[in-house]
Structure 1
Amino acid sequence: MELIESVKAALASTAPKDRPANDSEGAYWCDDCAVRIRDADLEGEPVCPDCGAEMRFERSTGRDCAC
C-alpha cells in the first residue's frame, strides 16, 4: 500500500519550471565565438562582446531554455 501512495504523491507533485520568469523569448548567438546572450540581458545592439560581429537571434522552443 505504501508503494501506491508513494507513486500517487510523486505524480501529484508539480514539476519545476526550467525557464526563468523574466519575459525572455530567446537569445542572441555569435556563430564565430559561440557566445550567447539572453535577450533579457542584452543592453543595446546585438554585437558580440568578444569579436564585435553581429549576433543572430534564436527563439527558444519547448521546455529546454537557451538560458
Structure 2
Amino acid sequence: MSILGTVRDVLKASTESANRGDVTGETSKGAYWCDDCSERIRDVDVAGEEAPNCPSCGDEMRFERSQTSTGCAC
C-alpha cells in the first residue's frame, strides 16, 4: 500500500463517525477551558451550574460547546 493510500485511509477512518460514544453514560455539551494553563474539565464532571476555577491557576474557566453534528471541533 502506498503512503498516500495509508494517509487517506487514516483520515477517512477518523471522520467516519460523529458519535464517538460516551464512556460515562452522561451526554456532554462541552467543556470548561483555562486558556492560560490549557486545562480542560468536561461539563459533566463539574458540580453545579457555575464555571469552575482552574485547578492550576485559580482563574475562572470558560465554557466551550462541543460540535456534535459533525464530530469536528473546527
- TM-score band by shorter chain is 0.5 to 0.7
Q: String of CA shifts for 1:26-64, please: whole Å, max 9, x gaps.
A: 000001100000000113541101110000000001314
Q: 1:37 aligns with which of 34, 38, 41?
A: 41
Corresponding position of 1:63 = 71
CA RMSD of aligned residues (A): 2.3
Corresponding position of 2:30 = 26
Change (3 A) 1:64 1:19: farther
Change (3 A) 1:23 1:16: closer
In 1: Cα distance, 2:21 partner to 2:65 partner: 13
Contact 2:37 2:56 in 1 (8 A): yes
Corresponding position of 1:6 = none
Partner of 1:57, secondary structure, is strand
Identity of aligned residues (%): 53
Structure with greater proportional helix content: 2
The two structures have a TM-score, normalised by structure 2, of 0.57
Larger Rg computed on CA atoms: 1
Aligned pairs, how many?
A: 51
